[in-house]
Amino acid sequence: MLVRVEVENWMSFRDRAVFTMLASKERQHSERITRLPKYFPAKVLPIAAFYGGNASGKSNFFKAIHFAKELVVKGTQPEVPIAVQPFRLDDDAARRPCRFLFQILVEEVMYEFSFAVTAKTVIEEKLVRMGRTADKVLYHRKDGKVDFASALVDKKFLEFAFKGTQDNQLFLTNSVLQKGPQFRPVYLWFKDALELVAPDTRFDPFELFLDENSPLCETMNKLLPALDTGISHLGGDELPFANIPIPDDLREKIQKELPDGGTIRIRHEPLNERYVVVRRGAELSARKLVTYHAKKGGGDVKFDMASESDGSQRVIDLLPAFLGASALGAKKVFVIDELDRSLHALLTRQLMEAYLDCCGAESRAQVLLTTHDVLLMDQDLLRRDEMWVVERDRHGASSLVAFSEFNSDIRYDKDVRKSYLQGRLGGVPRIRPMVRFREAEGVSRRVCK
């Protein structure tokens, strides 16, 4: 689970911004709050929604989490700059490192992982195991040196792994790549538990939609008609491998390198067509993901994915995330940027309600999302500490504030949308008075002359 994130000097976040999933003292929707009394004296929220005007910094916060995941999981090649993006509207900030902190629950153990990086080097890195009464620093890297906790096993290996860690690489990453088991659970949390869904993200293992024995295929085929997509079910259209629209060099590579029984996914982006190629002996077979719509009088009509609306395609890509978060025993954290992109407000709300109905004291999954949909800004749906506003000041710097901090403006029984749209909570566009379009057109013509 994700408990806390801190970001400093990253894109529009010049100053330290703190986001927490720890529940406040309010009692609304308390039945769905995760309780961790044995391992950590806290209650953790299952969802968080970020609001804010255009260019306020919502997507920048999403990109901060994405950057941290990429740096941990994939690392950086030797001599390649770290892809930092410091705050650029302040000369002093441009010279400072970007800082990140994550508090996460991994297999019932709470960790705090933090690092500070420039384009050239990792300035500082620390991993702490948090306890009920005291915290233990497992390692602390700073100024080219590292200190390990005395209780760690196989310290000689860790010291050897640190010597082989490049200046532009996290020690956490390198220790795992060198087969060290000590910090692997933290690495795997970033790799496997943290899932990011961008506005243009497509559900990657889409071959599950083609497998009639897959629970995901069965569930999707039940839900798509219920969500008024017009789709009766998904399916796979078999076609010759030679007919897949891919470059010749890629086709030859697949023919040479795909092993017997091997499977590969291919996505043709311009039309959002998705293919699965399988080798059976010397033969390559392909299936394309298609949709079926019920025909008047009975039967189905097959459609290419490109024929579906943007909204239907977005539903197909988002449903696996909500189903994954709702599954019994799920431990993933889904971070979704622009949840409401191409979706009707009622459909978006239905997805959130269905997920929240599955949450309880023993839950370990979470959903974080950015949105402009004020219809979701409803205390019958979300608690005040589950709603956040991202605000950008006149210097271009973003900040994060939870609605629960506006105690005088938001009572538990109040419609928060009115206060938000009136600008009393921040996070709305500061639109300047404008001349009429016709007048503006006349001005532009005189300027052009």
Over residues 176-193, the pLDDT tens digits come to 999 999 999 999 999 999
Same domain, 270 and 356: no
pLDDT for residue 435: 56
Interatomic CA distance for residues 340 and 403, integer angstroms: 20
Task: Establish if 317 belongs to a structural domain.
Answer: no
The domain in which residue 185 lies consists of 1-199+337-449
Structure tokens at 332: 């993933």
Q: Give residue-wise pLDDT tens across range 355-386.
A: 999 999 999 999 999 999 998 999 999 999 99
pLDDT for residue 440: 55
SS3 category, 198: coil
Q: Find all residues with CB under 8 Å of 394, minimum gap 6, and list them.
A: none
Same domain, 168 and 215: no
Same domain, 347 and 212: no
Same domain, 217 and 121: no
Same domain, 229 and 137: no
Task: Establish if 353 belongs to a structural domain.
Answer: yes
Same domain, 301 and 388: no
Task: Establish if 370 belongs to a structural domain.
Answer: yes
H/E element, 425: none
Structure tokens at 178: 């060198």
Residue 134, number of CB atoms within 10 A of its CB: 7
Q: Chain centroid to CA 440: how far?
A: 40
Task: Establish if 400 belongs to a structural domain.
Answer: yes
Same domain, 307 and 344: no
Task: Establish if 320 belongs to a structural domain.
Answer: no
Interatomic CA distance for residues 71 and 98, integer angstroms: 13
Q: Chain centroid to CA 137: how far?
A: 28
Write phi, then psi, for 167 (nearest 5 degrees): -60, -30
Mean pLDDT of 313-338: 95
Same domain, 253 and 127: no
Same domain, 83 and 189: yes
Task: Establish if 326 belongs to a structural domain.
Answer: no
Same domain, 191 and 225: no
Interatomic CA distance for residues 406 and 310, integer angstroms: 37
Same domain, 270 and 360: no
Domain closes at, from 295, 311, 327: 311
Please count the structural domains in the chain. Answer: 2
Q: What is the CATH number of the domain that holds 33?
A: 3.40.50
What is the residue-averaged pLDDT of the chain?
90
Same domain, 6 and 93: yes
